[in-house]
Amino acid sequence: MKPTSNIKKRAEKLRETIRYHDKKYYDEAAPEISDFEYDRIYRELKDLEERCPSLKTKDSPTQRLAETTGKHFKTIPHRVPMLSLDNTYSFDELKEFDERVQKGLGGEKYEYVCELKIDGVSIELVYLKGELAHAVTRGDGEKGDDVLANVRNIPGLPVKLKGSSVPDRVEIRGEVFFTRKDFEAINEEREEAELPLFANPRNTASGTLKTIDPAEAAQKPLHILLYYVFSPGKLPFGAQEDSLEWLQKMGFPEDEHYRLCKTIDQVHGYCEEYQARRGKIGFDCDGVVLKINRFDQREKLGTTSKIPRWAIAYKFPAQKAETTLKDITLQVGRTGAITPVAELEPVLLEGTTVSRATLHNEDEIKRKDLRIGDKVLVEKGGLVIPKVLQPFPEKRTGKEKVFKMPPTCPVCGSKLEREEGEAAWRCENAACEAQVERRIRHFGGRDAMDIRGAGPAVVKQLLDEKLIRDYADLYSLTELQVAELERKAEKSAQNLVGQIEDSKGRTLGRLLFALGIRHVGVHVAEILASHHKDIWALSKASEEELSVIDGIGPIVSRSIVVFFSKPANIKIIKKLEKSGVNLKRLKEEEPSGEQPFLGKTFVFTGELKGYTRSEAEGLVKKLGAKAAGSVSKLTSYVVAGEAAGSKLKKAKKLGIEVLTEDGFETLVKKYKG
């Protein structure tokens, strides 16, 4: 068919849009549209080009992969191009794919291996003479960045392949990703440090792989799963299933989810099963990849210029729903930042009811042109926090209202301010009730002073009853006052006084984080603590002195100096000091050059005799390890004290090394020398 000028224009527009989004996705790791939307646009262009072949230009995004490589890494060509897969959202098309396979194999028997399509960042590992030599990103499909330094510390990734049957060169492809839990923890920390949040686990993984400092990347709990092994030499297997078993034998993390399917109906069953389970597997996956099991049959089917004929991706339908934006309310954070929140008509998404979603800031509302009363599209996207994607302007009745930021704080009424270059409006009144409440909650938080009983309800009650006015007042609470709360059946308040007492001995790093200094997250607080003998030494440091510390930038330095210049802050620190709260650097926080446990993850369970949980965690962290709360395949050691329960069981099941307290001490001594 000959294209009309309208069709030509449409195709050009689609190309331009795809190029724009390719750049956002591949170069900037900051996609603006969902995969679903991208696929829709891509398909429309492909369909147009198929109907009117003269539209197929050489530079059309359908003819080549997006070009991209970063500047900080060495560019390495892929010996075999990293192709993408054909994909579909429909079972009928899977059946058509199967019919093509049947025909292509001329009646031979064949099987599929179904795997989850992990929504991470693809990577190619190159092993030369059994040693990990390169880890190359996909880049433009022909060449990518060698990000080996950031990949080699991923727990469970062997840097040497064992055994004699390994060819000189082996290439293994897979996906690097974050679990949802780890992603949320990273974002929580960024939120505390007032850094922009990552949009999703995949962007975070992409950003981490491109981190310039490998030590920084090593702190992040990246995961890897491999799904494609090939070599110019002879491999000791000839089918996908055997290759996955071989990977496991070589020490790579195990894929617990793949399945051999004998018929397309079994494939269908697998897709439906995982579509229903996708929210519960712990990481983002956006579909299923089905692959012909036998390599010789793959060869027979071959590859078109851009996609293999032996594999296809079935994509899960997007988890989106339409609902009404009933209102936009405002939340006041601990630093006074005002966050607009979408109040939605409750709607069921992925098994949970969604009725609120953050709108981040005023500009975001303007950019999306969201109006109160609009019909909107919301997405759960595997994330815990749902997102409002867009309004449906065509469904407006005329009654919708444009949102306007009020001039004053909704809680205390003081004037809102917005600094140049900042996205958030702020309530500058440090005594604003909402801020005070959030500050106290933050002070007692898990990564701060860890006062478990001081949850949101208890803090609110303590404030309402005027038992406290700031976090330092927690230390003057009496058993009697708390008993009153307990009587009111506040179960979490039980033993609150004991917990508050315990918190007096926390590390300087925890205290610095607990104070809620802007831009000081957990990590920055630990760095600051390791460089100052006590809080008073830090309070006297100048901006210049602070900004020479590795990991402390000018914004953080400025913020620290401003914090200590305010008499109210000095007053509250003195109040803490008087109550007996530790303001000094503890021994375990002293700087250490050696990081022998880098890349290792410890889980402590049960009761230890010689250490509190936080002391033991501090000790391994100082040696470069991570301390996690739950056991997974990526745990390096589980240290089991008295009365260890389910975590110990899980460690045994997963075959993870379990240490007694004595064993732990021996290990630490060995490394500390």
78, 117, 268, 320: which one binds ligand IVH (CB under 6 A)? 117
Q: Please, are residues 488 and 460 in contact by the beta-carbon 8 Å criterion?
A: no
Q: Give the interface segment with ligand IVH, choosing from 24-32, 83-91, 164-172, 548-556 (CB under 6 A).
A: 83-91
Phi, psi of 670 (to 5 degrees): -55, -40
44, 56, 70, 84: which one binds ligand IVH (CB under 6 A)? 84
Q: CA-based Rg of the chain, rounded to a whole angstrom?
A: 28
- Please identify, using beta-carbon distances, which residue of 118 and 658 lies nearer to ligand IVH: 118
In whole angstroms, the minimum distance from the beta carbon of 352 to ligand IVH comes to: 25
In whole angstroms, the minimum distance from the beta carbon of 73 to ligand IVH comes to: 18
In whole angstroms, the minimum distance from the beta carbon of 286 to ligand IVH comes to: 8
35, 115, 362, 490: which one binds ligand IVH (CB under 6 A)? 115
- Please identify, using beta-carbon distances, which residue of 46 and 533 lies nearer to ligand IVH: 46
Q: Between the CA of residue 369 and those of 36, 485, 569, what are the distances in Å? A: 21, 46, 40
| Alpha-carbon span 546 to 111, nearest angstrom | 62
- Please identify, using beta-carbon distances, which residue of 286 and 490 lies nearer to ligand IVH: 286
| Alpha-carbon span 180 to 283, nearest angstrom | 5
- Please identify, using beta-carbon distances, which residue of 227 and 443 lies nearer to ligand IVH: 227
- Please identify, using beta-carbon distances, which residue of 42 and 604 lies nearer to ligand IVH: 42
Binding mask 291-330 for ligand IVH (x = CB under 6 A): -----------------x--x-x-----------------
In whole angstroms, the minimum distance from the beta carbon of 150 to ligand IVH comes to: 17
In whole angstroms, the minimum distance from the beta carbon of 216 to ligand IVH comes to: 24
Tell me which H or E stretch contains 324: strand 320-332
- Please identify, using beta-carbon distances, which residue of 313 and 648 lies nearer to ligand IVH: 313
Asked whether the CA dihedral 353, 358, 364, 370 is positive or negative, the reply is positive
Matching residue, tokens 């030509």: 8
| Alpha-carbon span 355 to 359, nearest angstrom | 13
60, 69, 88, 122: which one binds ligand IVH (CB under 6 A)? 122
Q: Give the interface segment with ligand IVH, choosing from 62-70, 116-124, 202-210, 547-555 (CB under 6 A).
A: 116-124
- Structure-block tokens of residue 561: 């100096």
In whole angstroms, the minimum distance from the beta carbon of 212 to ligand IVH comes to: 24
| Alpha-carbon span 489 to 466, nearest angstrom | 18
Q: Give the interface segment with ligand IVH, choosing from 78-86, 335-343, 354-362, 544-552 (CB under 6 A).
A: 78-86
Q: What is the DSSP letter of 390?
A: E
Q: Between the CA of residue 58 and those of 41, 55, 79, 305, what are the distances in Å? A: 18, 10, 23, 13
Q: What is the DSSP letter of 284?
A: -
- Please identify, using beta-carbon distances, which residue of 85 and 377 lies nearer to ligand IVH: 85
In whole angstroms, the minimum distance from the beta carbon of 231 to ligand IVH comes to: 15
Out of 117, 220, 291, 622, pick the active-site residue: 117
175, 284, 470, 617: which one binds ligand IVH (CB under 6 A)? 175
110, 228, 425, 664: which one binds ligand IVH (CB under 6 A)? 228
CA-angle at 253, arms to 250 and 254, nearest 5°: 95
| Alpha-carbon span 22 to 442, nearest angstrom | 39
In whole angstroms, the minimum distance from the beta carbon of 100 to ligand IVH comes to: 16
289, 378, 493, 619: which one binds ligand IVH (CB under 6 A)? 289
Active site residue 280: no
Name residues whose C-beta falls within 8 Å of residue 546's C-beta, 6 or more positions apart in sequence. Answer: 552, 556, 557, 560, 561
Does 231 interact with ligand IVH (rule: CB under 6 A)?
Answer: no
In whole angstroms, the minimum distance from the beta carbon of 258 to ligand IVH comes to: 8
Beta strand 259-261 with 112-118: parallel, antiparallel or unpaired? antiparallel
Q: Name the closest residue to ligand IVH (Cβ).
A: 122
| Alpha-carbon span 618 to 621, nearest angstrom | 5
Binding mask 85-104 for ligand IVH (x = CB under 6 A): x-------------------
83, 159, 235, 301: which one binds ligand IVH (CB under 6 A)? 83
Q: Where are the beta strands (DSSP E) in 499-625?
A: 601-605
Size of the site for ligand IVH (CB under 6 A): 14
In whole angstroms, the minimum distance from the beta carbon of 604 to ligand IVH comes to: 33
| Alpha-carbon span 104 to 96, nearest angstrom | 12
Does 118 interact with ligand IVH (rule: CB under 6 A)?
Answer: yes
- Exposure letters 505-531 (e unless 16+ CB within 10 A, then b): ebbbbbbbbbbbbbbbbbbbbbbbbbb
Which positions from 572 through 591 interact with ligand IVH, judged by CB under 6 A? none
| Alpha-carbon span 594 to 217, nearest angstrom | 17
Q: Please, are residues 334 and 435 in contact by the beta-carbon 8 Å criterion?
A: yes
Which positions from 422 through 441 interact with ligand IVH, judged by CB under 6 A? none
- Exposure letters 210-233 (e unless 16+ CB within 10 A, then b): bbeeeeebbbbbbbbbbbbbbeee
Q: Give the interface segment with ligand IVH, choosing from 111-119, 148-156, 583-591, 601-609 (CB under 6 A).
A: 111-119
Residue numbers at the binding site for ligand IVH (CB under 6 A): 83-85, 115, 117-118, 122, 175, 227-228, 289, 308, 311, 313
**What residues are labeled active site?**
117
